[in-house]
Structure 1
Amino acid sequence: MQISMWVPYDENQLRRTLQFILRPQLRLIRVLGGVLVALGVALLAVKPLSSLAYVAMILGLLFVVAVAPITVALSMRMQSNVIRDGFHMTLDDEWVTLTYPLAESRFRWAGLGRAIETPEVWYVMFGKLQAITIPKDPMTEEQRTTFAAFVNGLQPAGK
């Protein structure tokens, strides 16, 4: 397999990738927020004028509603300016190579944890928090089919 393509910078795709990576951690925070809201409601039922109940409900609502967008926004701001020029991606039988104008990253397929396919991209995971987004738009239909078969052959059954 030898696929080579130019990938322009896409802020919306970067945001979706960050949401994908952060989803497990943010899910736990939302659950904790729900528990705090329930605790606040229970405290209000027992002691209607309890300030602790209102604090628990407000914190719980913040955890459920506000933490995820704030975390993604902060993560977006923390990204290096190097990525804003787009990059050249090369996929071959041994490596994923990302070449930016000012930097280069290479990952061996042997380190692949899992690959998740969506209608727009593949998220190729090298660990729990390291994901490479491989967009489908710059690829031809033949390249998509070749890559899908290649990455499916790399993953253990059930992943």
Structure 2
Amino acid sequence: MQISMWVAYDEKRLRRTIQFILRPQMRLVRILGGVLFVLGLGLVALEPTASVAYVAVALGLVFVVAIAPITVARSMRMQSNVIKDGFHMTLDDEWVTMTYPLAESRFRWAGLDRIVDTPEAWYVMFGKIQAITIPKHPMTEEQRTQFVAFVAGLHPAGK
């Protein structure tokens, strides 16, 4: 397999990738926030004058509603300006290579944990929080078919 393409910087795609990576952790934060909210409401029902109960309700709401967007926004701000110029992506039988004007990243397919297929892109996971987004729109239909066939031939953990 030899697929080569230019991938323009896309802030929305980067935001979706960050949300995808953070989703398991944010799910836990939301569950804990919900528990804290319900416990706070229970305390308010039992003792309406207890300020701790109102703090628990407020913190629960923050955990359920605000932590995920705040975390994604902070992660977006922490990204290097190097990525804002777009990059050239090469997919071959051994490597995923992303070449930016000022940097280069390479990952061996042998280190692949899993691939998640979405309508817009494939998320290639190397570990639990390292994801490479392979967008579908810069590829031709033939390249997409070639990539899917390549992925199907990888070890079971990559399927």
TM-score normalised by length of structure 2: 0.97
Structure 1 counterpart of 2:107: 107
Which residue of structure 2 aligns with residue 24 of structure 1?
24
List alignment gaps of at least 5 residues for structure 2: none
Structure 1 runs of 4+ aligned residues shifted over 2 Å read: none
Q: Secondary structure at the match of 2:156?
A: coil
Distance (whole Å) between structure 2 residues aligned to residue 120 and residue 113 of structure 1: 20
1:88 is displaced (CA, Å) by: 0.1
1:155 & 1:11 partners in 2: Cα distance? Answer: 32
Q: Please tell me whether the aligned partners of residues 117 and 123 of structure 1 are also in contact (alpha carbons under 8 angstroms).
A: yes
| 1:152 Cα offset (Å) | 2.3
For the residues of structure 2 that align with 1:43 and 1:154, how far apart are their CA atoms?
Answer: 53
- How far residue 154 of structure 1 moved from its aligned partner, in angstroms, is 1.2
Provide the residue aligned with 1:136 in structure 2: 136
Report the Cα offset of residue 14 of structure 1: 0.1
**Letter of the structure 2 residue corresponding to residue 51 of structure 1:** S
- SS where residue 154 of structure 1 aligns? coil
Q: Are 1:118 and 2:118 counterparts?
A: yes
The one-letter code of the counterpart of 1:82 is: V
* Aligned equivalents of 1:59, 1:154: Cα separation in 2: 45
Contact 1:114 1:155 in 2 (8 A): no
Aligned residue for 1:15? 15
> Is 1:93 aligned to 2:93, yes or no?
yes
Asked if 1:154 is matched to 2:158, the reply is: no
The match for 1:53 is 53
Aligned residues between the structures: 159
The answer for the alignment partner of 1:66 in structure 2 is 66
Counterpart of 2:102 in 1: which secondary structure?
Answer: coil
Are 1:34 and 1:61, in contact at CA under 8 Å, matched by a contact in 2?
yes
**Aligned-partner Cα distance in 1 for 2:147–2:158:** 18
- Give the root-mean-square deviation of aligned CA atoms: 1.2
CA contact (8 A) 1:112 1:124 kept: yes
CA distance in 2 between counterparts of 1:97 and 1:90 reads 5
Q: What secondary structure sits across from 1:124 in the alignment?
A: strand
| Kept after mapping to 2: 8 A contact 1:115/1:155 | no
Q: What is the TM-score when the length of structure 1 is the normalising length?
A: 0.97
Structure 1 segments unaligned to the other structure (5+ residues): none
Q: Distance in 1 between matches of 2:98 and 2:155?
A: 21
Aligned equivalent of 2:41: 41
